[in-house]
A = this chain, B = another copy of it.
Amino acid sequence: LSLAENNAVLELVNEIPEQDLSAILYELETEESVALLNILTTEKSAQVISELDTDIRLKILKHYSPEQIASFIQFIDSDDAVDLINELSVKTGEEVIAFIQNPEKADHIIDLLHYDEDCAGGLMAKELIKANLNWTIDRCIEEIRAQSKNVDKVFSVYVVDDNMRLLGLLSLKKLLLSDEHAIVADIYDPTIKSIESYRSGTEVADLMRKYDLETIPVVNVQGKLLGRITIDDVIDLITEQADLERQIMAGISNDTEEDDSVWLLSKSRLPWLIVGMIGGILGAQFIGLFENVIHQVTAMAFFIPLITATGGNVGIQSSSMIVQSLARDSTYIAMNPDRFIKGFVVSLINGIAISSLVFIFNLVLKQEMDLALTVSIALFCVVLVSSFMGTITPLILFRFGVNPALASGPFITTANDLLGLGIYFSVAHLLYSF
Contacts and interface: CB of A to CB of B under 8 A. Distances in A.
A251 B317 contact: yes
A231 interface: yes
A115 to B, nearest CB: 22
Q: Chain copies in the assembly? A: 2
A411 to B, nearest CB: 11
Interface in A214-258: 214, 230-232, 234-236, 238-239, 242-243, 245-247, 249-252, 256-258
A93 B262 CA distance: 56
Contact of A291 (B231, B235, B287, B299): B299
B252 A249 contact: no
A35 interface: no
A100 to B, nearest CB: 24
Contacts of A410: 313, 316
Interface residues of A, number: 109
B305 A273 contact: no
A141 interface: yes
B272 A414 contact: no
Contacts of A15: 191
Contact of A305 (B245, B302, B308): B308
Interface stretch (A1-9, A106-114, A169-177): A169-177
B285 A365 contact: yes
A281 B320 contact: no
Q: Which 7 A-B pairs have the closest CB atoms?
A: A280-B306, A250-B320, A301-B301, A212-B232, A284-B302, A172-B172, A283-B305
13 contacts: A155-B214, A172-B172, A175-B176, A176-B176, A238-B242, A242-B242, A247-B324, A249-B249, A258-B321, A273-B383, A280-B303, A283-B305, A304-B305
